[in-house]
Amino acid sequence: MTAEFCGKALAIEHDGEVYSCDHYVYPDYALGNIRATHLGEMAFSARQQTFGYAKRNSLPAFCRQCKHLKLCWGECPKNRFVRSPDGEPGLNYLCWGIRRFHDYAGPALRQLARQSE
């Protein structure tokens, strides 16, 4: 969930339907059925690539300017349903907690890394 791109965790339901992600098992995200279409074809389809890149490409400016961007990447797009401080839609509702965690844990983790050198 903290990767720059999504789309590598397809979901396959009991009936063979394949979806872009296990968080998006909805008709709009159905890629096809493994009984009719090879899984590789769906996994590497243009539609799936668009889904994967949308995670990064749909970030609000508030996220793109955040010092923690490379640690978070806006987390899961499914959780992006609040507005940023400047009113732009698409901010993750967990943003404030994620930022607080990284502000707190980051210095300690950097110190531990230095000690292990």
d(CA 83, CA 81): 7
Kindly report each contact of residues 38-45 with a partner whose C-beta sits within 8 Å and lies 24 or more positions away, as own/partner. Answer: 39/10, 39/12, 42/10, 42/18, 43/10
**22 an active-site residue?**
yes
Tokens of 27: 């008709």
Q: What is the pLDDT of residue 116?
A: 79
Q: What is the pLDDT of residue 91?
A: 98
- The answer to whether 46 touches 52, Cβ cutoff 8 Å, is no
Q: Report pLDDT digits (tens) over 48-91.
A: 999 999 999 999 999 999 999 999 999 999 999 999 999 999 99
Give, as one character, the DSSP assignment of residue 104.
H
Exactly one of 22, 28, 86, 103 is catalytic; name it: 22
